[in-house]
Amino acid sequence: MNNKKNIFQQILSKEIVTDFIYQDDLITAFNDIKPQSPIHVLIIPNFFIKTLNNVNYKHELVLGRMLLVASKIAKKKNIDKSGYRIVINCNNDGCQTIFYLHMHLLGGRKGNNIFF
Ligand code: 5GP
pLDDT in tens, the chain (116 residues): 466 889 999 999 999 999 999 999 999 999 999 999 999 999 999 999 999 999 999 999 999 999 999 999 999 999 999 999 999 999 999 999 999 999 999 999 998 887 66
Residue from 65, 106, 25, 40 nearest 115 by CA: 106
Phi, psi of 21 (to 5 degrees): -80, -35
Domain ranges of the chain: 24-103
Residue 115's pLDDT is what?
Answer: 65
Work out which ligand 1 atom sits closest to the CA atom of 7.
19
Q: How far is the CA of 35 from the centre of ligand 1 (A)?
A: 9
CA distance 16 to 36: 21
Q: How far is the CA of 78 from the centre of ligand 1 (A)?
A: 23
CA distance 102 to 96: 9
Report which residue type is found at 68.
Answer: L
Written out in words, the top-level CATH class of the domain with range 24-103 is alpha beta
**DSSP state for residue 74 in the 8-state scheme:** H
Residue 50's pLDDT is what?
Answer: 98
Report the nearest-CA residue for atom 17 of ligand 1. 33
User: What pTM value is reported for the model?
Assistant: 0.96
